[in-house]
Amino acid sequence: MRGGSSVVECLPSKEKVAGSTPVRRSKSDRNMIYKNKSIGFAPNLVPLINNGTKTLTYRLGDKYDFLKIGDLIDARDSSNDRVFAQVEITEKSWIPFKDLPTDRNGHEIYSSKNEQRETFKEYYGKDLEDEDRILILGFKVVKS
């Protein structure tokens, strides 16, 4: 199913039920493994992700706000829609576009704020405002 948004695996919520004993779960047990959910990357970035050079992605909008640190999600080549890796989310933060670094380690380097703005315009088809919120996701490849 293409474009689906269902989650195949999820863990039950930790609710108090009369007469039950709460189950302790390790932190890693609460992380989600998302099937049918993925993050697309331009084809020129695929080798950089696979070799560990690219470990950050910047995203406009809240499409990936559901992700938490420790979650696993598929990484797809946007040119052919093929999964090329599974990544674990290692960082999640929001920042206004005006404060987004142009030269952060783990991400492509932009020669200027204008180049960064133009790159976002190419990806999202709109001009960015300085106050537009950008989601920064850090990740590591766990399976390629």
Structure tokens at 83: 């999964």
pLDDT computed for residue 30 by the predictor: 65
pLDDT tens for each residue of 49-89 = 999 999 999 999 999 999 999 999 999 999 999 999 999 99
The pLDDT of residue 35: 66
**What structural domains does the chain harbor?**
30-143 (3.10.400.10)
| 28 has pLDDT over 70 | no
* Contacts of residue 89, Cβ cutoff 8 Å, sequence gap at least 6: 67, 68, 69, 70, 71, 72, 73, 137, 138, 139
User: φ and ψ at 65, to 5 degrees?
Assistant: -65, -20
Q: How far apart are CA 131 and CA 99, in angstroms?
A: 9
